[in-house]
């Protein structure tokens, strides 16, 4: 069996709030395989976004390790981490681009950061993902002109357009109904299968974790495995180069 795409081992993180020290993650260990969708369910303020930031390497840990494929993120310089973020990790978080950027420019910026695509390939990839997500008519729109659902789709587009090894999803469906959560989950399943991604999702409720291969509960700084699908056949072989 190949190593997991993402592995967290014994991760601890706490923050200072006034004179108090608040523990957010305590001895958290989990991993995500190629083609696997792992959901972490937790209420507001339970540390879901902290977990996603730790998994991305953008937030350091006080104890423990975070490993992406064969690279320990906790030991990278800022320049090395930015390179990993530009090529190997996609993050969908409903934050959106700067106000001046339209959707096309947002996706162009994501591709340009990877520094490995020609102008013609960038154009092809942008057209392809916008068509796939039924966003072709939104290419010239700015973030504030999009509906809430279109913003979700644009975040999926920018997070997956570079074919990363790992997709991190930060509670992107909070506030949506069951039908839209199911649609979003179908999209994520498609990305995991077709692009051979490992997916770690932070979600607020179990409805947003439908069809996940593993579901963890994050509560009081600890994670507990709630569900594992025994019928999932993981794609353990190394990811083939994608065109």
Indicate the number of domains in the chain. Answer: 2
DSSP state of 111: H
Q: What percent of the chain has pLDDT over 90?
A: 78
Residue 235 and residue 130 share a domain: no
Reported as a pLDDT band with limits 50, 70 and 90, residue 231 is low
153 and 49 within one domain: no
**Same structural domain for residues 203 and 122?**
no
Same domain? 149 vs 189? no
Say what the pLDDT of residue 94 is: 86
pLDDT at 236: 38
Domain range for 51: 1-88+164-243
Query: In this structure, are residues 159 and 195 in contact, taking their beta carbons and an 8 Å threshold?
Result: no
Angstrom distances, CA of residue 184 to CA of 79, 142, 191, 208: 33, 22, 11, 8
Q: List, for residues 122-178, the tens digit of each pLDDT value.
A: 999 999 999 999 999 999 999 999 999 999 999 999 999 999 999 999 999 988 999
| Residues 81 and 195 placed together within one structural domain of the fold | yes
- DSSP secondary structure letters along 40-56: EE--TTSSHHHHHHHHH
The DSSP-derived string for 72-96 is EGGG--HHHHHHHHHHTEEEE-S--
Asked if residue 70 and residue 155 are part of one domain, the reply reads no
Q: Which of 107, 142, 162 is the last residue of a domain?
A: 162
pLDDT above 70 (res 232): no
Domain boundary among 119, 147, 162: 162
pLDDT at 5 over 70: yes
62 or 230, which is more confident?
A: 62
Which domain CATH number covers 188? 3.40.50.300
């Amino acid at each position: 069996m190949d190593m997991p795409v993402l592995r967290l081992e014994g991760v601890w993180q706490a923050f200072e709030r006034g004179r108090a020290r608040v523990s957010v993650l305590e001895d958290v260990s989990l991993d995500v395989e190629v083609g696997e969708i792992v959901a972490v369910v937790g209420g507001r303020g339970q540390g879901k976004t902290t977990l996603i930031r730790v998994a991305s390497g953008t937030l350091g840990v006080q104890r423990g390790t975070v490993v992406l494929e064969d690279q320990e993120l906790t030991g990278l310089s800022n320049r090395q981490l930015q390179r990993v973020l530009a090529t190997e990790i996609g993050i969908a978080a409903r934050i959106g681009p700067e106000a001046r950027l339209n959707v096309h420019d947002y996706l162009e910026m994501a591709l340009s950061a990877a520094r490995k695509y020609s102008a013609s390939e960038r154009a092809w990839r942008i057209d392809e993902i916008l068509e796939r997500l039924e966003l072709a008519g939104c290419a010239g729109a700015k973030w504030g002109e999009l509906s809430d659902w279109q913003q979700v789709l644009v975040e999926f587009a920018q997070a997956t357009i570079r074919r990363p090894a790992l997709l991190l999803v930060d509670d992107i469906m909070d506030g949506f109904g069951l039908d839209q959560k199911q649609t979003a989950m179908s999209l994520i399943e498609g990305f995991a299968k077709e692009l051979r991604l490992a997916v770690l999702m932070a979600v607020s409720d179990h409805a947003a974790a439908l069809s996940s291969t593993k579901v963890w509960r994050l509560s009081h700084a600890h994670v507990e495995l709630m569900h594992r699908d025994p019928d999932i056949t993981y794609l353990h072989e190394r990811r083939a180069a994608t065109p």
